Structure 1
Amino acid sequence: MNSGHSFDRIPPLTSSDATHAFDAPAVTSDLNTLLAPLTPEMINTSAWLLYASGLACAPNEFHRRQHFFESALDHFIGEDNRCGAHLAWSQSVEVILARRHSFASLSTLLDCYETIRSLEGDVSDQIELLTLTARLGAVLYHRPQALDAAVLISQASNVLGSIDSVAMQLLLGQRVVMFLLWRGEPAAAEMILDGLRSSLARQPLSHTQLDQLQLLRTELCRHATSPAVCKQVLNVCSEPASLLGEQQRTLLAIHCAMTDESSPLQAQSLLQRGPTGFAPGYLDQNQYYAAAAWVHLACGELPAAEKHVEAAIERARQAQAPFLEASHQLLKATILCAANRYRTTRSTLAAARTLGRACHSQLLEFNALMIEAELQFQQGQDGSGLTTLRKALDLGRRQGFGTFIGYRKANATRLFERALRANIEPAYIQSLIQRFELTPNDTEQPIESWPWPIKIHALGEFSIEVDGKALSPTRKPQHRPIELLKVIIALGGNNIHQDVIIDILWPDAEGDIGAQTFATTLHRLRKLLKHARAIELSDSHVSLSRLICWSDVRQFEIILSQADAEKGSQTLLPIACVNHVERALQMYKGNFLGQDRQAAWALPIQERLRSKFLRHVTGLGRYWEHNRNWEQAIEVYQTGLETDQLIEQFYQRLIICYHQLGLRTEALSTYQQCSEVLSTILGLSPSAETNRLHDQLLSQAVS
């Protein structure tokens, strides 16, 4: 060595506070000063000088840095220097990860880690932390199937809050959160991120570090929160103070546009620069091609989508990143399924699941099950599709998943509708529908359990739910808007000319006064319902929005119409109709609008609905009677009387059913109840038919 310089400062500079190798430019400056007079021959003879030379390189000098660190590692191992070997190994790994190109050489480094651990000597806590961070990064991107992955995550989570270096805390925190998300543990990832943000809130952060935190929050939002939160993060990251890279901002904007699906074309425009707008590493190019494949899929451009996803898979393979390859294989399966190429879809799906299970990823398994269910439905295998969908949604609920590979609004809505109709994980499905702000595909067969923004109950006591909460308008000025809503429902809720409504509610209004009063009342109603689009007005015709509003009246009539269509001309109700009728009868809580039955405009629909109720209670009761299930028939008729105790025919059928069961006392009691109700409320005596049954009952000859 040159005797005019002191090189004993190099080990303290490089190892006394190893974590600050990430955020202490002064150290790099000192190293450059110390190394400047040395020849390559001198540097190549010393492990510490090689290590110091790696630290002194510019961040983007990947090849030089890797050469110095790996050469230093060989020297340290040969010298049995455990401290130096840990440092050189960690920095070798970090260079490969930072380059975001091929992770192939991580295999050699991971394999030799056990050799490094077996060396003699003590290692400081800071160097252990540097090593732990590097190991977690290497396993995350290159070897997620490693048996010690869960142990590494646990160790990293435990030390995260005690790290002094902001840069190290961010780096380790980012890797823990991403690993947990990729493995399918969003709740644990959220807890780690909350702790990280709380810890860093006490630290002065640069704009770049703030952006890194925001991006991490976005990743969590993609997996477990709403697209709306992603938009908020994007807005923050698009502010002038933000130093977020254009590539990261583009990917974030694409995700926001695609999950909101306001315009896939908008997302498409973000990719106009092509792959040249992204860094040249395999990992960054892989991100571009995967995003482009997703956008083309949403736009229905399936050949372009397949071309881009193949490129993404190839880049993931070149990078030797198994998790990314598996997720892109799933995206490819989605594209192939959309193209009706079912055999290739199955083989692609199988390959993806093999990779995903090797990575111990519940997230990949969930997405594979969702794609398999979609495939089965498309092939007409509804039974298998529902079984697979049930498995997927059970897993999704338990893990708290809220992201879908190749998400498309229409497809997700279709699967969610199937799940709700089959009563599969309704609470979880409702949360996903609200998260993605979905509207139903099928408005002709509305699903009651869909999380409708507005639910209106008019069978029996009138009530309104807005966004899941009961609306209780107690102030007198709200009477007219509510009355307007009732009239709209009474008139069918669809395409009603406003003049018809004006004639009902304001018959004495002349000229423009009626139209002005209607417009004012409609405005107040929309404001009361908190959804401006709930009541549609087009060309003077009024409708309840079928995407926003659900009403029990419409649902009741749709279900019974479907049952009538299936029954056709048959005398008895067919078994396929029984469930439909039972569902409808459960909805009928009383006459239309209950206490408002005296309103003239309500009478036609009251009578129509009551007639349908009577007819189908009788039909369902007769079905059970025909099958000699007297107990079930009794339950149906009692349900009918609980809703309307004045329907004498139900008492008649109850008397017959009780007699068939040998319950003479109950039969006589039913006649007595009928007689008292009719006398007290209507001032009438039982009909001749009811009296005939009573007389026959007394003579034990009821039929």
Structure 2
Amino acid sequence: DVMPNSRAPQVVFDYLAGEIFQNFDERTRRLLLKTAFVPEMTSAMAERFTGDSGAGEILATLHRGHHFVYLKAGGTDSIYQYHPLLREFLRARAAESLSPSEYRALRRTSVHVLEADGEVEEAAALLREDTDFHALKHLALEHAPDMLAHGRAETLETWLDEIPDEILDTDPWCFHWKAACRFASAPRESRLLYERVFKGFEDEGASQGSGQLLACAGAMDAIIHELDDLSLLDPWIERATVLLTKASPGTGADSGAVARAAVSLFVALVFRQPQNPDMKKWAERAFGCVGELSDTNARLSAQLLMAITLNYTGQFGRVRELIDVMRRTCQSPDVTPLALTVLKDVESMYFMLTADHEQCLQAVFDGVDIGQASGVNLWRYHLLSNGAAAALGAGDLVSAEELLEKMHAHREGARRLDRCSYHYYRSWLAMLRRDVVEAHQEQKTALRLAIESGCPFYEVLCRLALAEIFHELADERRTISNLRRARRLARGIDNRLMEYMAFSTYAHIALAHGRTRSGLNALRYAFGLGRDHGFTHFMWWQPRVMAELCVHALESGIEVDYVRNLIRSRELMPDVSPVTVDEWPWPIRIRSFGEFQVFKQGQPLGTGAKPQQKPVELLKALVAFGAMDVKERDLAAELWPRIDADYAHRSLTTTLHRLRKILAHDRAIGLKHGRLSLDPSCCWLDVHALECVLNEIDETLGYTRPRPPETLVTHLADGLFEIYRGPFMASEGDQPRYASARERFRNKFLRAASELARYWEEKQRWDQVARLYARGLEVDALAEGFYRRLMLCYRQLGRHAEAVDVYDNCRRALATERDAAPSPETTAIYQSVVEALGEDSDTQHYG
């Protein structure tokens, strides 16, 4: 049956109820009066109220007789309810017919039965009606842990707020639970209450060790959730340290309180005193204690705070494990909205710091939605800041701007450290846009807020960012000042992620200032940390800077495998294309000097298969035409000269699609405004690399330049011969589209090799000269000038027989390839060598 919503006129119902009530037998009337204060009951509850084993049958009879008794559920768990007007009548009749002491006893019995059957809120309602605040206090204290565990903090707080302070003051636990109720919505008020709680327990002596530990834990957690002035943690850290050091059997501290305090102390140390010499000891104790927390929300809260600290210190493997555990825990319906929101904050921070942009944003929006639905928005700002950081790290400046605007819209409720992060990310955005002046203004504000909040970690972040900014502004004094302050703050802090960021920053600045040795040492340490801990991101990530550091690392052989993986995963590319850096992991490499070769992710791509011939021919033509901004119509006309222009264009479009599919890289070949280009950010082309080396040789060996060191010239020569491995498109014969480019590149190569040889000739290092010309002839056997210079070099070294061999090689090569003989100039040098060889023989004969 369903209870009707209509209510009969009061006067009529009073009359009917009176007539009905009087017609019941004494046993039924006694049942009705004794259950008057219970909104609903089972048969078992009715039996306990009355002591009548037949109470359930009486209720069933009243229900069947339609005597304003309604059945909510059938079966063994039948629940009966009185019509509201009948209940009002019965309450009034009880007050009239019972003595005051009997009436009070009936209500007290009702409270006890309701509490025993789990109807705690109904029991509290009776006590509140009676203004029995002492009993209400005991009821609240008895059921507070369970109510908080099931997300009923607001109800508990309402009860405690109604109890006068003079009654609450008799037991510090009252204010402990009041502080716990305020924690999610008002952490500042919660902290102030915990101070009162700690003083109350302290006055009660050593027997209240659990209370003092929980007060310490609650206060520290509230300060961290408040994120306003972390210096407030200092006295609590001291108190918790003393209490936990003494905590042992017999001190009155249970294992749950010890575990809570140990976790909170560890988290407080990470935020406020990361350089504490006992940090490692407390970390181990905290991790060992978490499992001892039996309460789901308490355990989850501890795990969440630990996960946040592990994120800050770069221990991502442990964070991932905790996230998986906490996700399973959060499937329970008893988990509070605050815990669910903080879990999303932990997830978003983890994904941000591990460079997973998309998953971070998903966690951010999920967390914001949970907060909006529940009204618990304490972590909304921090969630949005994680999203902004992820977008900045991914180079998605549009999304970053949108998220920063949302943060600005909610600035009224922002905590001080949240505001610090807002200005920090604003500065980061400006720096990525190359607006150094705005970056400086925003970062100054962020630093001020970091100092005011008392968080060393954030101050280090801000000072490292300012060092980068002042470096860009060419202010060396303030660059060094901020680096030194960051180093002083970070000294003693066991934080590998911070070290990775700090040493990377120092390496960049030192190398830019020409301090190569210290810069490379810092880079070696930073990238060693990156390899060991799998770091691929940090806050203030500057792709341009990291790409430059990767170039230095590869050129110096520093952590090559790690660096190559970092470049791939973060798609790094410096402003100046690293075409001369051998170890740079280009997705696609194209060689056109000597044999035409294409490499995809380091593996050779077969170019001879018949289905691939036309796409490969298109790629060859694109390279021959310069590889950049090549007109579609020129390529179409070159590859399909005998068909009309429209059909040729359609054929080009189809072939381009096939070529992109073969290369398997979306950006490899771009098409814009009717022009095709190889993307220099993902395609390495030996033609471009040769131009870079030629320019460097020209700049190094120009006549107005001072003589460079021998090591640099040797390096340039190695680079030249590594790139130029033979004639351009050597296997393509004399096709017109390749011939002119082939001759142009050959002449550039011969000129550059001659410049390098001249350097060694001026130093009279004839062994180096000979080696260089010999390498030149390996890639161009028709360079007659190289044969002449090599013969002269051997003559200078007295190696006349080898000089003769060089002439013989020259004669054979020219005869075979060109059906020609050596020039008179070459022959004249040969004759002089032969004469010198004869003189050598005479000397040996008469010697």
Q: Distance in 2 between matches of 1:571 and 1:339?
A: 29
Q: Distance in 2 between matches of 1:565 and 1:297?
A: 32
Q: Are 2:307 and 2:322, in contact at CA under 8 Å, matched by a contact in 1?
A: no
Q: Distance in 2 between matches of 1:545 and 1:67?
A: 61
Q: 1:487 to 1:165 in 2, by over 3 A?
A: farther
Q: Are 1:66 and 1:95, in contact at CA under 8 Å, matched by a contact in 2?
A: yes
Within the alignment, does 1:516 sit opposite 2:619 as a pair? no
Q: Distance in 2 between matches of 1:685 and 1:572?
A: 40
Specify the alignment match of 1:391 in structure 2: 522
Equivalent AA in structure 2 for residue 584 of structure 1? L
Per-residue displacement from partner, 1:226-250 (whole Å, max 9, x unpaired)? 5455456556667799968642443
Q: Distance in 1 between matches of 2:733 and 2:504?
A: 48
State the Cα distance separating 1:583 from its structure 2 match. Answer: 1.0
State the Cα distance separating 1:408 from its structure 2 match. Answer: 4.5
Specify the alignment match of 1:251 in structure 2: 385
| Residue among 725, 740, 755 paired with 1:589 | 725
Residue-pair matches, total: 689
Q: 1:171-320 alignment to 2 at 5 Å?
A: 171-183=301-313, 186=314, 189-200=315-326, 202-205=328-331, 212-227=342-357, 230-231=360-361, 233-234=363-364, 246-263=380-397, 267=401, 270-271=404-405, 274=408, 276-277=410-411, 279-298=413-432, 305-320=439-454
Within the alignment, does 1:150 sit opposite 2:150 as a pair? no
Q: Which moved more, 1:320-329 or 1:634-643?
A: 634-643
Within the alignment, does 1:44 sit opposite 2:174 as a pair? no
Within the alignment, does 1:87 sit opposite 2:214 as a pair? yes
Q: Are 2:323 and 2:347, in contact at CA under 8 Å, matched by a contact in 1?
A: no
State the Cα distance separating 1:251 from its structure 2 match. Answer: 1.7
State the Cα distance separating 1:484 from its structure 2 match. Answer: 1.1
Q: Which moved more, 1:476-485 or 1:655-664?
A: 655-664
Q: 1:155 to 1:656 in 2, by over 3 A?
A: farther
Q: Are 2:630 and 2:677, in contact at CA under 8 Å, matched by a contact in 1?
A: yes
SS in 2 for 1:465: strand
Q: Are 1:226 and 1:435, in contact at CA under 8 Å, matched by a contact in 2?
A: no
Q: Distance in 1 between matches of 2:327 and 2:839?
A: 86
Within the alignment, does 1:463 sit opposite 2:597 as a pair? yes
Q: 1:477-488 alignment to 2 at 5 Å?
A: 477-488=611-622
Equivalent AA in structure 2 for residue 351 of structure 1? R
Q: 1:124 to 1:669 in 2, by over 3 A?
A: farther
Q: Are 2:424 and 2:446, in contact at CA under 8 Å, matched by a contact in 1?
A: yes
Equivalent AA in structure 2 for residue 195 of structure 1? E
Q: Are 2:726 and 2:780, in contact at CA under 8 Å, matched by a contact in 1?
A: yes
SS in 2 for 1:590: coil
State the Cα distance separating 1:423 from its structure 2 match. Answer: 6.5
Per-residue displacement from partner, 1:398-455 (whole Å, max 9, x unpaired)? 2354445544455555665666667766655544444443444235987565544432
Q: Distance in 1 between matches of 2:577 and 2:744?
A: 23
* Aligned sequence identity (%): 23
State the Cα distance separating 1:147 from its structure 2 match. Answer: 1.2
Unaligned runs of 5+ in 1: none
- Structure 2 length normalisation: TM-score? 0.69
Equivalent AA in structure 2 for residue 126 of structure 1? G
Q: Are 1:278 and 1:284, in contact at CA under 8 Å, matched by a contact in 2?
A: no
Q: Distance in 2 between matches of 1:292 and 1:248?
A: 14
State the Cα distance separating 1:342 from its structure 2 match. Answer: 4.1
Equivalent AA in structure 1 for residue 515 of structure 2? S
Equivalent AA in structure 2 for residue 607 of structure 1? E
State the Cα distance separating 1:650 from its structure 2 match. Answer: 5.0
Q: Which moved more, 1:73-82 or 1:260-269?
A: 260-269
Specify the alignment match of 2:483 in structure 1: 349
Equivalent AA in structure 1 for residue 229 of structure 2? S
Q: Distance in 2 between matches of 1:363 and 1:105?
A: 26
Bigger Cα Rg: 2
| Residue among 827, 830, 842 paired with 1:688 | 827
Within the alignment, does 1:620 sit opposite 2:750 as a pair? no
Q: Are 2:713 and 2:756, in contact at CA under 8 Å, matched by a contact in 1?
A: no
State the Cα distance separating 1:324 from its structure 2 match. Answer: 1.7
| Residue among 605, 615, 632 paired with 2:741 | 605
Specify the alignment match of 1:505 in structure 2: 639
Q: Distance in 2 between matches of 1:476 and 1:282?
A: 67
Equivalent AA in structure 1 for residue 242 of structure 2? T
Q: Which moved more, 1:439-448 or 1:247-256?
A: 439-448
Q: Are 1:484 and 1:521, in contact at CA under 8 Å, matched by a contact in 2?
A: yes
Q: Are 1:57 and 1:65, in contact at CA under 8 Å, matched by a contact in 2?
A: yes
Q: 1:259 to 1:49 in 2, by over 3 A?
A: closer
Q: Are 1:481 and 1:521, in contact at CA under 8 Å, matched by a contact in 2?
A: yes
State the Cα distance separating 1:195 from its structure 2 match. Answer: 1.7
Specify the alignment match of 2:98 in structure 1: none
Per-residue displacement from partner, 1:75-101 (whole Å, max 9, x unpaired)? 434421233332232223223223333
- Structure 1 length normalisation: TM-score? 0.82
Within the alignment, does 1:639 sit opposite 2:639 as a pair? no
Equivalent AA in structure 2 for residue 60 of structure 1? S
Unaligned runs of 5+ in 2: 1-131, 842-847
RMSD (Å), alpha carbons:
4.4
SS in 1 for 2:746: helix
Per-residue displacement from partner, 1:521-546 (whole Å, max 9, x unpaired)? 23332333334543344454433333
Per-residue displacement from partner, 1:159-180 (whole Å, max 9, x unpaired)? 5578665544544444444434
Specify the alignment match of 1:327 in structure 2: 461
Q: Are 2:259 and 2:290, in contact at CA under 8 Å, matched by a contact in 1?
A: no
SS in 2 for 1:464: strand
Q: Are 2:340 and 2:367, in contact at CA under 8 Å, matched by a contact in 1?
A: no
Q: 1:174 to 1:663 in 2, by over 3 A?
A: farther
Q: Distance in 1 between matches of 2:292 and 2:772?
A: 66
Q: Distance in 2 between matches of 1:433 and 1:219?
A: 22
SS in 1 for 2:680: coil
Within the alignment, does 1:579 sit opposite 2:725 as a pair? no
Q: Are 2:697 and 2:716, in contact at CA under 8 Å, matched by a contact in 1?
A: yes
State the Cα distance separating 1:72 from its structure 2 match. Answer: 3.4
Per-residue displacement from partner, 1:339-398 (whole Å, max 9, x unpaired)? 444433433333233222254445445444555566567xxx631277436514631442
Q: Distance in 1 between matches of 2:447 and 2:646?
A: 66
Q: Are 1:218 and 1:230, in contact at CA under 8 Å, matched by a contact in 2?
A: yes
State the Cα distance separating 1:457 from its structure 2 match. Answer: 1.2
Equivalent AA in structure 1 for residue 723 of structure 2? M
State the Cα distance separating 1:486 from its structure 2 match. Answer: 0.6
Equivalent AA in structure 2 for residue 219 of structure 1? M
Q: 1:468 to 1:12 in 2, by over 3 A?
A: farther
SS in 1 for 2:346: helix
Q: 1:267 to 1:680 in 2, by over 3 A?
A: same
SS in 1 for 2:599: strand
Q: Distance in 1 between matches of 2:488 and 2:310?
A: 19
Q: Distance in 2 between matches of 1:36 and 1:636?
A: 92
Q: Are 1:572 and 1:619, in contact at CA under 8 Å, matched by a contact in 2?
A: no
Q: Are 1:161 and 1:199, in contact at CA under 8 Å, matched by a contact in 2?
A: no
* Structure number with higher relative contact order (C-alpha < 8 Å, ≥ 6 residues apart): 1
Within the alignment, does 1:96 sit opposite 2:226 as a pair? no
State the Cα distance separating 1:267 from its structure 2 match. Answer: 0.8
Q: Distance in 1 between matches of 2:133 and 2:349?
A: 53
SS in 2 for 1:104: helix
Q: Distance in 1 between matches of 2:690 and 2:667?
A: 23
Q: Distance in 2 between matches of 1:449 and 1:235?
A: 40
Q: 1:124 to 1:560 in 2, by over 3 A?
A: same
Q: Are 1:372 and 1:388, in contact at CA under 8 Å, matched by a contact in 2?
A: yes
Specify the alignment match of 1:73 in structure 2: 198
